[in-house]
Structure 1
Amino acid sequence: MIVRFIDWLKQWPRTVRVLSLVAAAAIVIWSLAAVDTHHAHTWVEQHIPGFWAIFGFLAASVLIFIAGWLGKCGIQTREDYYDR
C-alpha cells in the first residue's frame, strides 16, 4: 500500500507541493490564532507570529537539503557496486 502511495506522490508533484504549502499556511494561521504569547519565554516567540512553525519548516528543509547533498557526495552508490 505504501508503494502505491509513493508512486502517486511521484506522479503528482505539483499537487503534493500545493498541499504541503496549504498545510504549512494552515499551521502558521493556527499558531497565530491559538497560541498565547503572553507567557512566551523568548523575544522571538513573543514578537514573530508563527515563529516555531516557520522555524520547523526551515529546519526540515535544511535537513532535507543536507541529506541530499551527502547522498550525492558519495553515500549513495550504484546498485551493482558489490557485483564486480
Structure 2
Amino acid sequence: MIALIESLRARSKTVVTVCYVLLAVIAVGSTQVDTHHAHSWVEQHVPCFWSLFGFTAAAVIIGVARWFGRSGIQAPTDFYTRSQSSEEEA
C-alpha cells in the first residue's frame, strides 16, 4: 500500500489529469440520462441535477461540521492527557 501511495505521489500530475478526465466523462454521461420519466420539474430541466445536489449536500455537511468543530463541540487536543493526570492525582 505504501508503494502504491508513493508511486501515485510521484505521478501526481498524471493522477490529477486522469481524475479530471473521469469527472468530465461522468458529467457528460449524466447529461445523457433519459429525463422523460423524471419525477419533478427540476430533474427534467436542470442538467446534472443529482450531481449538483450531491455536491451541494456534501459541501453543506462539511461546512456544518467545521462550524461545530469551531464552536466548542470538539474536545480539546489535551483532553485525554488532562483526564489521565487528574486520575493520577486522585
Which TM bucket (shorter chain)? 0.5 to 0.7
Structure 2 portions without partners, runs of 5+: 83-90
Structure number with the bigger relative contact order (C-alpha 8 A, sep ≥ 6) is: 1
Which of 35, 38, 42 pairs up with 1:40?
38
**2:76 corresponding residue in structure 1:** 78
Compute the TM-score of the two structures, normalised by the length of structure 2: 0.61
Q: Of 50, 53, 60, which aligns to 1:52?
A: 50
Alpha-carbon offset, residue 59 of structure 1: 0.6
Residues matched between the structures, number: 74
Counting aligned pairs with the same residue, the percent is 53
Q: CA deviation at 1:56?
A: 0.5
Could you say if the C-alpha distance between residues 73 and 80 of structure 1 is closer, same or farther in structure 2, counting changes exceeding 3 Å? same
Cα distance per residue 1:33-81 (max 9 Å; x no partner): 2x11011110001111110110110011000110111011112232222
How far off its partner does 1:25 sit?
Answer: 4.2
Q: CA RMSD in A?
A: 3.0
Q: What is the TM-score normalised by the length of structure 1?
A: 0.65
CA deviations on 1:1-43 (whole Å, 9 max, x unpaired) are 59xx6xx99xx8xx87xx4x6655443222102x110111100
Structure 2 Cα separation of the partners of residues 68 and 23 of structure 1: 29
> Whose Rg is larger?
2
